[in-house]
Amino acid sequence: MSLLTDDDRYELTLNSEGGKPQNMCEMLDRVEARGVEKGRAEGMAKGRAEGMVKGEDMIISLLKKLTPGSEDYYKALNASSEERKELYKKYGIA
């Protein structure tokens, strides 16, 4: 198959764990599973990156609303995630 298509994914699937597929359906299931796993990994990486940006934006918004040196300012700097969530609510950020 690899010779006809100049594509080595078929051969990689044949040589992957689980032994030789018994039929084409099993082969396609393996290929699909690899694609799903790859998509899941890419989605998780993208989600993490977007979450980091959103989190940074939220903390910056909070700090801009607080007066440096105030009790809530220091609380925000040292807060746990739960305490920060309360501050976001208090200042209309969440």
Residues 6+ apart with CB under 8 A from 14: 20, 21, 27
Domain that holds residue 28: 7-90
pLDDT surpassing 70 at residue 53: yes
What pLDDT is attached to residue 11?
74
pTM: 0.61
**What percent of the chain has a predicted confidence (pLDDT) above 90?**
59
Residue 51 within any structural domain of the chain: yes
Residue 2 within any structural domain of the chain: no
What pLDDT is attached to residue 9?
73
DSSP-H helix ranges across the chain: 2-5, 9-15, 24-65, 71-78, 81-90
Residue 18 within any structural domain of the chain: yes
Residue 1 within any structural domain of the chain: no
**Number of folded domains in the chain?**
1
What pLDDT is attached to residue 65?
94
What pLDDT is attached to residue 4?
65
What pLDDT is attached to residue 2?
55
